[in-house]
Amino acid sequence: MAKVDWVWYHKQSISSSGTTTYFNTDEATSGTNVTNMKMAGQLPSAEKFTIKSIQVFFDPADAVDDIETLLGNTVLELVIGEETKIKAPLFHFVPQGNITGYAALYGQASETERSAAGLGGTVWTFENPIVLPGGVGFKVDLHVGTAPSAAVDVTVSLVGVREY
């Protein structure tokens, strides 16, 4: 079996509250710019993927206020088969998932000031990686409590080791 470092990804727009499900489409249907999954909702049965981290990215063109709304009001849940493997607030999965700098200290700061402040933080790498076996259904759900004022493009990436 070949073993390589790999990233599975899926991008969607979030514009409302509720649950948005990721990894429920494939590359042939949605295109390479949306996902690199070979099958919707599962890996081929002969494969295995060890998830070392889950990373969430926002389109830098989206409004900072809308990104902050999602960061503070969304929970990420990874489900493999029928079992929740991890569930936590979204900001734990966002590299540089908080605003730093002087403007971040003031709730009155303008969007321009917050953008200038920059992002800070580190990637959460699992001490106990999560094994995703082939042939078993899985999904990542983003449970959005408060909708952004405009659509935000959000990419969820599973980062780890692919065996095939």
pTM: 0.86
Within a domain: 135: yes
Query: Quick one: pLDDT at residue 111?
Result: 57
Within a domain: 56: no
Within a domain: 54: no
Within a domain: 98: yes
Within a domain: 62: no
Burial of 121 (0-12, 13-18, 19+ CB in 10 A): middle
Residue 62, C-beta contacts closer than 8 angstroms, at least 6 positions apart = 148, 150, 151, 152, 153
Within a domain: 85: yes
Within a domain: 112: yes
Within a domain: 119: yes
Query: Quick one: pLDDT at residue 107?
Result: 52
pLDDT tens by residue, the chain, 164 residues: 899 999 999 999 999 999 999 999 999 999 999 999 999 999 999 999 999 999 999 998 898 889 989 999 999 999 999 999 999 999 899 886 554 544 444 455 555 555 544 455 577 899 999 999 999 999 999 999 999 999 999 999 999 999 99
Domain hosting residue 72, numbered range: 3-44+68-154
Query: Quick one: pLDDT at residue 145?
Result: 98
Q: Report how many domains make up the chain.
A: 1
Helices (H) and strands (E) in the chain, counts: 3, 10
